[in-house]
Homo-oligomer: A and B are copies of this chain.
C-alpha cells in the first residue's frame, strides 16, 4: 500500500483515486421527504453536478467526482444541497452528515496502485448565507512504509490551518468544532482532506453539519 507517489509527474485523475463523498440530509420536520427531494432537485439544477456522479440509496447519497477540479465540484455541490435543504425547510433545523473519501476507489477493497497524488488548490467558496456549526474528524489511513509516520501529525496540521482560517473554534472528544458560513465550514474540511491526500493515498473525513438548530439560535 505504500505507493511511490513522488516519482512521477503524471497526476492521477479523480476517478482513479476514488475522490468523492457520501452524505445524508436530515430535516427535522414532518415533511422531511419533500425537503430532501426538493434540495436534491435544486442542487442538481444549474450545472452544479457537472463532472459528478450521484447515486441516492435508502441511507445516503454517493457523490463521485469524475473530473478535476474534484474538490471544487464536491464543495460547490455539498454547500449547495445543504443550503437548499435549509431554504426548503423554511430555515428550520437541518443536519447533514458528510463523509469525504479519497484513495479507495473500490466498493469494498482498496487496490490503489496509482502514482502521482494530486496537490489541489484550495477551493473557492461562494457564501450561501446559511450559518452552520459542525463537528469534524479527519482520518489519514497511513500504513507502514517511508511515509508511514505518525497519523496525528497531519491531523494537527489540519486543525492549525482551520484555526488560522477562523472556522475551528473548539475541540471536543474525537472531533473539532467548526463554525461559520456552511460553504466555508465544508471548504475547511475539504481543503484539509485534500492537503493530506497529497501525501497519504487513503484519507477519509467525517463532518456532522448543523444548520438552523434551536441550540445554535440560542447562542446568538
List the interface of chain A (C-beta within 8 A of B).
1, 18, 20, 22, 24, 26-30, 32-33, 57-60, 62, 64, 93, 95, 97, 99, 101, 104, 107-110, 133-135, 137, 139-145, 148-152, 155-156, 159, 171-177, 202, 204, 206, 208, 210, 213-216, 219
Contact = CB atoms under 8 A, between A and B. Distances in A.
28 contacts: A1-B151, A1-B152, A20-B173, A22-B172, A22-B173, A26-B26, A28-B29, A29-B29, A32-B93, A57-B172, A57-B215, A58-B213, A59-B133, A59-B208, A62-B172, A64-B173, A97-B208, A99-B174, A107-B171, A107-B172, A110-B152, A139-B204, A142-B142, A142-B144, A143-B149, A144-B148, A174-B204, A206-B206
A62 B173 contact: yes
Given A1-B151, A108-B159, 16 more contacts: A1-B152, A20-B173, A22-B135, A22-B173, A22-B174, A27-B28, A29-B32, A32-B93, A33-B214, A58-B213, A99-B174, A101-B174, A107-B171, A107-B173, A141-B142, A144-B144
Complex copy number for this chain: 2
Nearest to A21: B174
B133 A143 contact: no
Given A57-B172, A152-B1, A28 B32 contact: yes
